[in-house]
Amino acid sequence: MVIRSLDLETVCGITSSIPENDKPEIAFAGRSNVGKSSLINALLNRKSYARTSSTPGKTQTINFYNINQELYLVDLPGYGYAKVPLKAKEQWGRLIERYLNGSKQLKGVFLLVDIRHAPSRDDKKMYDWIVSHGFQPIIVATKVDKVKRSQLQKHIKIVKEELQMTGDGKLIPFSSVTKQGREELWVSIEKSIEAVPSTDIGRATS
Q: In this model, does residue 206 exceed pLDDT 50?
A: no
Range of the domain at 73: 6-195
Percent of the chain with pLDDT over 70: 84
**Euclidean distance between CA atoms 93 and 149, whole angstroms:** 35
pLDDT at 100: 87
Residue 201 CB burial class (10 angstroms; 0-12, 13-18, ≥19): middle
**Euclidean distance between CA atoms 99 and 86, whole angstroms:** 20
Most confident by average pLDDT, 59-63, 177-181, 195-199: 177-181
Average pLDDT over residues 72-97: 76
Q: In this model, does residue 178 exceed pLDDT 60?
A: yes
Q: Is residue 183 part of a domain?
A: yes
**Euclidean distance between CA atoms 28 and 64, whole angstroms:** 11
**Euclidean distance between CA atoms 40 and 34, whole angstroms:** 12
Q: For 3-31, what is each residue's pLDDT tens digit? A: 899 999 999 888 888 899 999 999 999 99
pLDDT-wise least confident of 85-89, 130-134, 183-187: 85-89
Q: What is the mean pLDDT of the chain?
A: 85
pTM: 0.86
Q: In this model, does residue 199 exceed pLDDT 70?
A: no
Q: In this model, does residue 201 exceed pLDDT 50?
A: no
SS3 label, residue 139? strand
Q: Is residue 206 part of a domain?
A: no
Q: Is residue 105 part of a domain?
A: yes
**Euclidean distance between CA atoms 178 and 198, whole angstroms:** 35
Q: Is residue 200 part of a domain?
A: no
Q: For 145-158, what is each residue's pLDDT tens digit? A: 999 999 999 999 99
Q: Is residue 120 part of a domain?
A: yes
- Asked if 139 contacts 113 with a C-beta cutoff of 8 angstroms, the reply is yes
Q: Is residue 121 part of a domain?
A: yes
pLDDT at 15: 81
Q: What total of structural domains would you count in the chain? A: 1
Q: Is residue 136 part of a domain?
A: yes
CATH number of the domain where residue 61 is located? 3.40.50.300
Classify residue 164 as left (phi > 0), alpha (psi -120 to 50) or beta: left
**How many residues belong to the chain?**
206
Residue 131 is inside which H or E element, if any?
helix 121-132
Angle, helix 182-195 to helix 36-44, in steps of 10 degrees: 90
Residue type for 59, please? T
Q: Is residue 95 part of a domain?
A: yes
Percent of the chain with pLDDT over 90: 57
Q: For 46-79, what is each residue's pLDDT tens digit? A: 877 775 544 444 557 899 999 999 999 999 988 8
Q: In this model, does residue 165 exceed pLDDT 90?
A: yes
**Euclidean distance between CA atoms 102 and 139, whole angstroms:** 22
pLDDT at 81: 59
